[in-house]
Structure 1
Amino acid sequence: MQKTVNTTRKEWSLKLDDALWTYITAYKTPLGTTTYHLVYDKACHLPVELEHKAAWIVKLLNFDIKSAKEKRTLQIHELEEIRHLAYESSKIYKEKTKAYHEKRIISRSFAPNDQVLIFNSRVKLFPEKLKSRWSRPFTIKEVRPYGAIVLLDKRGGEFVVNVQRLKPYLADITIIKGVEIPLSDPL
């Protein structure tokens, strides 16, 4: 719709019907069909095509109410089947999407008294673009179910964060040629 209105954008209401028609008739991959097909059980056609088809249907049925009723009943049953298939297709699509996103989640396990850094998403990149987005170390007080972790700051205040915003703080360990050496030990 944004591309079809002029630069003053005053004509958007005139283009709304066309935009809605386009949305209804567009093929939706999760459903495996169009929303128009789900509602009306037929492919969408332009008004000229509908008028032409209506004339042929009237001629074909020759105003026979019984055969028209049987045909419509069959179409209604087919529509229920199409809706059921669209529901199943949508369910499979959602399961695949969920599996894809859960695959990208990093599983982390923390214990009380561990030191962690917290991701600060509010840091703006441009004013201080070399500044780290990870805030100072915090101590874990409690690990709650479903990824909630209670942290302690230096003043003793508590707050709860999601485990996905944390990473372990490794400042007390130095790695030399693959061997971990605590910084408190002399070399």
Structure 2
Amino acid sequence: MVSDQGTHFYNRRLTGLLKKHGIVHKVATAYHPQTNGQVEVSNREIKHILKKVDKPQRKDWSTRLADALWAYRTVLYKEKVRAVHDKNIKRRKFKPGELVLIYNSRLRLMPGKLRSRWESPYRVEKAEPYGVFYLRHPSSPNILKVNGHRLKLYHGEKMKDSKELEIHLLADPPTEVD
């Protein structure tokens, strides 16, 4: 089962149910809606099928749900399209210790047209085989869990491990007094 990071997926009752039925619970990374995109597309298609086979009042859609699910699951075209799509997916590969930049999709500043959406370099701590990377910024002890599609390799100078910040102040030019 894949879920977002919502707190309603973290409780004893659900954990016990998943364990009882042998279901593995994977948590999607934040700010990556494509992870749940397959569920959204499936729900939209099933809704479309139900609209076609159900009466205009749509009061008895639950009796038609089994037929709609059967129709949805037996579509060959969907499998062909998925195979073509999956061939084009390129997994990002970063090794622990490498420096990467994170794409900030939430940046919404007016003067930010010229501002880069790529945030300062982070060090890769751990890489999971399914595309999730654990990152650490040198000025923070926290570890971030990020999807690989939001990362790119940092090619700049090597990151300093020190937490010191060097600030250079520019003096105002002298003004003439009459």
Does the TM-score normalized on the shorter chain lie above 0.5? Answer: no
- TMscore range, shorter length: 0.3 to 0.5
Normalised to the residue count of structure 2, the TM-score between the two structures is: 0.45
